Amino acid sequence: MAEKYFTVSWDQLHRDSKALAWRLMDHRPFAGIVAITRGGLIPAAIIARELECRLVETVSVVTYDEEDRGQPQVVKPPAAAGDGAGWLVIDDLVDTGTTARVVRALLPKAHLATVYAKPAGKPLVETFVTEVSQDTWILFPWDTEAQFIPPIARGTGR
């Protein structure tokens, strides 16, 4: 199965994060926001501003690096969120759901929201903005830089 690429610009990430904030309006108030690092940091900051939420916490789960897809490890648990009751958890993407399952175990009563969702992980989140296919690789603005890309007709697959 060929991988597809979906490039997200800073502007688009901001618009999509703001759209997620609109969807979360009916679920307020939140005691605070837990950003899943690193991808959830920027969407969480945008959503915290839009929802006027001043308390922002983080949780860091390492699920893989470029060489290894081992067991997920919590390297920094959230300090103030308890069981998650009244808290909003934000991530950029739910892919297979590995990270979401770990965070859900830590904060079982939290509302989990992501900007983007793939089918395998979608059932684990309550709110998201955009669904992409499982074989789509999302290129976030912090992982990319501007450069020339040949036209699709040249067979680059992008």
As annotated, the binding site for GMP includes 95-99, 137-138
Q: Are 43 and 13 in contact (CB under 8 A)?
A: yes
Residue 89 backbone zone (phi > 0: left; psi -120 to 50: alpha; other: beta):
beta
Distance CA 132, CA 158 (A): 15
Catalytic position from the list 16, 68, 83, 95: 95
11 has catalytic annotation: no
Q: Please enumerate, by residue number, every residue annotated as part of a binding site for Mg(2+).
A: 92
State the alpha helices, DSSP H only, in 9-74: 10-24, 41-50
Strands, E assignment, 77-118 = 87-94, 111-117
Active site annotation includes 143: no
Binding-site residues for 5-phospho-alpha-D-ribose 1-diphosphate sit at: 38-39, 91-99
Choose, from 16, 91, 135, 143, the residue flagged as catalytic.
91
Residues at the annotated binding site for xanthine?
Answer: 95, 138
Residue 92 annotated to the active site:
yes
Q: How many CB atoms lie within 10 A of CB 14?
A: 14
Active site residues: 91-92, 95
